[in-house]
Amino acid sequence: MPDLFTPPLEPQSTKPPIPPVVPVPTVTPAKEQHVRVFSAFSQAPANISFQHQKDGETIMLFLRRHFITNTTWITFGVFLLLLPFLLLWLVSAINIDLSFLPARYVLLLVLFYYLIVISFLFTNFFSWFYNIFFVTNIRLIDIDYENLLYLDVSETTLDRVEDVNYKQVGFTASFFNYGDLTVETSGEHQFFEAAKIPKPSLATRIIEDLLVKNKTG
């Protein structure tokens, strides 16, 4: 049967369809942790601060090299600590005559040697201790301290970050779960790298999570 009356069509909505909400993988907010002397990974650390920290700016992630990466210089340091005993044994075994050297000279040489070795250990620890990468809710700060004459402090805001990725290469990196985290930015300093940090996948997820929160406001 034909329709005698058809109601006018309602004007269609010009609004674009709302895309389905895609769940964003988020990292559960961590309890505040305290950075300790040997800490290499700390989420939301409560006991650190930095120069020019803004009001409301909180540190979300604190990273250093994994402590296991210090094995080389620690082993070498222990070897240097034991070296005089080895030399003493060698001198007595080969019968080298050191009688021309007075005892006070030997004492001062040994004291100075141990002072040098302790300073070697200290400066290596020092360069590990101050090689820090941290992420706040506003920016990334990378402190590179290679040696006594090289200090590089660089920072960028989170809205400049374009990509975050990490890589784990080698047996020890896989076994001890450390790797290199790289952050690409659009600024002048294009790459921020946190080398050999523990739990690189978790650190990447935390930074990605912060980026999402930063973009969505």
Partner 1 sequence: MIDSLLIIKIVLLVFIAMYIGFMIVVITQLQRLSGILTIPFQNGMRVFALLLLLLGVSLFLLSLAIL
Q: For binding to partner 1 (CB under 8 A), which residues are involved?
A: 34-37, 47-51, 100-102, 104-105, 108-109, 111-112, 115-116, 118-119, 122-123, 126, 129-130, 132, 143, 145, 148, 151, 153
Element of type H or E holding 84 = helix 71-94
Please list, in sequence order, all residues whose beta carbon lies within 8 angstroms of the beta carbon of residue 165, skipping any fewer than 6 positions away: 181, 182, 184, 204
Nearest CB to partner 1, comparing residues 47 and 190 = 47
Provide the minimum distance between the beta carbon of 188 and partner 1 in the complex, in angstroms, as a whole number. Answer: 20
Provide the minimum distance between the beta carbon of 166 and partner 1 in the complex, in angstroms, as a whole number. Answer: 24
Nearest CB to partner 1, comparing residues 13 and 51 = 51
Q: Nearest Cα to 25, choosing from 211, 209, 215?
A: 209
Quote the CA–CA distance of 158 and 207 in Å, as a whole number: 9
End-to-end CA distance of the chain: 58
Provide the minimum distance between the beta carbon of 170 and partner 1 in the complex, in angstroms, as a whole number. Answer: 29
Provide the minimum distance between the beta carbon of 108 and partner 1 in the complex, in angstroms, as a whole number. Answer: 6
Quote the CA–CA distance of 98 and 91 in Å, as a whole number: 9
Nearest CB to partner 1, comparing residues 34 and 167 = 34
